[in-house]
């Protein structure tokens, strides 16, 4: 009783002290900032996606307007005044349709630039198809006739067969000391797959033709002597005679007889080629540049190379040229013999 009197409270009236575990903590200020920055991040990602799609769309419109023609960029190889430029155009690797198209477009780009005073055709090629080698040869000749500006071939490494064919279209030919050239001639090869089909796979080819020579030469039977003579007369000899004529026209020091003597398929090092008048000078790129300057009548010039533009289709993986595709076109190339201005190593 004394205790109750001192406190003034009964046992039922004792106050309950609230526990801290039952109290609701105040909201943290940082949570609001997190939400804010998350919203900003999402909006930023959406804006970037829209920008990328817009750029791709504009690029597609530009390509559709400009057509198939490429707009090349320029890379400076040697500094000099931009009012006088020398363009270096590469013929590198096997000469085929895509390379020929690329070279022709670069020649047209140089033709439209009045500041280009001359061109160097830098050749590192064993040759390739007859039609594409001849197309490049024709475009170089056309450039020289329409512009009156000099074109000099610079051979680096291997510049044989079709590589030499394209070089003789130039005013002068400069070869590196280690260059290999020549191989004036024509070659053709094809596969005979008769045993593979019939004996290994059990496949019997059936060919229906309007005449006996319609499928000469055929990959489905052995190559006969009659077929060989026919192919030589119809394909090899005409292509070879054109090669001989082209070299004799481009190399004034050589007669038709000289070219026939040299044109047995032999290859020549730089020293031997110079002695046989197949080239004009032995040197490096600097010597080729000096030769162009001399022919163009300029003392100083900026040397440039053309580069392909950035391709959105390649970035997005829309081009499947690097993937192996065995379609009708591939089958045709595989089974059809081709006559080539090509130095072949087996």
How far, in Å, CA of 111 to CA of 89, rounded?
A: 13
Q: Which two tokens stand for residue 209?
A: 């033709």
> What does the buried/exposed string (b/e) look like for 18-34 if buried means 16 or more CB atoms within 10 Å of the residue's CB?
eeeeeeeeeeeeeeeee
Identify any residues that bridge with 338 across adjacent strands, giving them in sequence order. 189
How far, in Å, CA of 258 to CA of 263, rounded?
A: 8
With H, G, I as helix, E, B as strand and everything else as coil, classify residue 322: coil
**Residue in this structure with the two tokens 């020579």, named with its chain if needed:** 213
What are the catalytic residues?
Answer: 161, 214
- CA angle (16 as vertex; 10, 22 as ends), nearest 5: 170
How far, in Å, CA of 283 to CA of 298, rounded?
A: 20
Q: Which residues contact 125 (CB under 8 A, 6 or more apart)?
A: 91, 92, 93, 94, 95, 158, 159, 160, 162, 163, 166
How far, in Å, CA of 285 to CA of 88, rounded?
A: 10
**Residue in this structure with the two tokens 């009156």, named with its chain if needed:** 148
How far, in Å, CA of 217 to CA of 214, rounded?
A: 9
């Amino acid at each position: 009783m004394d205790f109750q009197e001192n406190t003034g409270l009964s046992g039922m009236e004792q106050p309950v002290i609230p526990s801290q575990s039952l109290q609701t903590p105040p909201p943290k200020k940082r949570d609001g900032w997190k939400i804010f920055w998350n919203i900003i991040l999402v909006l930023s990602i959406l804006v970037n996606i829209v920008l990328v799609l817009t750029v791709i769309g504009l690029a597609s419109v530009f390509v559709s307007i400009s057509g198939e023609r490429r707009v090349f960029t320029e890379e400076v190889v040697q500094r000099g005044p931009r009012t006088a430029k020398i363009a270096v155009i590469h013929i590198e690797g096997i000469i085929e349709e895509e390379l020929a198209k690329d070279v022709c477009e670069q020649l047209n780009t140089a033709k439209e630039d009045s500041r280009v005073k001359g061109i160097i055709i830098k050749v590192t090629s064993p040759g390739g198809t007859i039609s594409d080698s001849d197309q490049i040869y024709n475009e170089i000749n056309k450039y020289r006739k329409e512009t009156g500006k000099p074109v000099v071939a610079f051979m680096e490494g291997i510049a044989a067969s079709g590589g030499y064919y394209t070089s003789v279209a130039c005013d002068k030919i400069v070869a590196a000391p280690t260059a290999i050239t020549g191989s004036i001639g024509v070659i053709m090869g094809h596969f005979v797959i008769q045993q593979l089909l019939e004996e290994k796979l059990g496949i019997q080819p059936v060919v229906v033709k309007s005449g006996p020579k319609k499928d000469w030469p055929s990959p489905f039977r052995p190559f006969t002597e009659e077929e060989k003579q026919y192919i030589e007369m119809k394909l090899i000899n005409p292509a070879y005679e054109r090669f001989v004529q082209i070299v004799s026209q481009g190399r004034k020091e050589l007669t038709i007889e000289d070219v026939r003597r040299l044109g047995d398929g032999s290859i020549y090092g730089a020293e031997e080629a110079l002695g046989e008048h197949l080239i004009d000078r032995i040197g490096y790129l600097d010597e080729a540049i000096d030769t162009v300057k001399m022919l163009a009548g300029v003392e100083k010039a900026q040397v440039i190379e053309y580069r392909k533009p950035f391709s959105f289709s390649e970035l997005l993986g829309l081009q499947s040229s690097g993937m192996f595709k065995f379609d009708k076109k591939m089958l045709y190339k595989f089974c059809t013999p081709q006559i080539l201005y090509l130095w072949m190593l087996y």
